[in-house]
Structure 1
Amino acid sequence: MAIGVGDKIPNATLKTRTSDGPVDLSTEEIFGGKKVVLFAVPGAFTPTCTMNHLPGFLTYNEEIRGKGVDTIAVVAVNDIHVMSAWEKSTEASGKITFLSDGNGEFTKAVGLDIDLSVAGLGTRSKRYSMIVEDGVVTALNIEDSPGRADTSSAEALLEQL
């Protein structure tokens, strides 16, 4: 069952890259006591994710943060090295926190995993965006199709803040 508005983010560990190398982050560290915008993509470097979904969170970064958001983060079922390369290629360092869910632990825990084996991608994340306040989901926008980035866009989320 998918997580919903009013639900607490489950315990999981994600990875991010810092200047000191890869670092494990617990969901408590990411979401505890903060207002976080999290968006998820089926895969780093994939066309819709790179050209349609992520750019809006760069374009509207200041407006989103101006609504009291502490962190804007993206998560994908990709390894830390792929997420780090994607961060560099999109010039998003310092604006978006790139979270690796390499084994899909977090994605499965929130019930937003999808089997994209038909496209050769295996188990990935559904495309979504959410607002999380002190570990509790206050808004959730799940796309009907992984190839669309409308409902979960930065523009749509900004209207919910």
Structure 2
Amino acid sequence: MDQIIADLFPRTAVPYPVLLARLTGAIVLGAVIGAEREYRAHAAGLRTHILVALAACVFAILSIESVHMAGFAEEQVRIDPLRVIEAVTSGVAFLAAGMIVFSRGEVKGLTTGAGMWLAGAVGLSVGLGHWFVAVVATLACFIVLFILAKIDIKSDEAEKAKSDTKT
């Protein structure tokens, strides 16, 4: 039984409370990014952005922990944590690209795809312990999605009113 418990809770380079905080942080920051997409009823909303950020965080944590695993300490085993970042970036970019469609002469889903990509980057940041980067990126995303969207709507309304007066 001790072996099973030891296998369930192995020694980690990052303490368990910190791991829990990082996973929770990825969930919260992913939710902030996905909230605007959910509010606007886009296909990739709150849950999708949370899952992207959480998955990226898990991959980042695994890359840190794998570097410190006893079986990987031998010289012939090479672990490069940057490959995890590249893999997460590629995987999330693939998901984000699936959100982008060209319909009736318009590109749709580009902002949602970019938000998913950012959620992945935020998840990686939190997973690697770069909280400041993750929080600032999330705040910047919030500003772009909520505040700049209001400016964009007002400029669209002004443009429409201007074209209506010409006709």
Calculate the TM-score normalised by the size of structure 1: 0.31
Q: Which is helix-richer, 1 or 2? A: 2
Whose relative contact order is higher, 1 or 2, with alpha carbons under 8 Å and at least 6 apart?
Answer: 1
Q: Which is strand-richer, 1 or 2? A: 1
Calculate the TM-score normalised by the size of structure 2: 0.30
Higher gyration radius (CA): 2
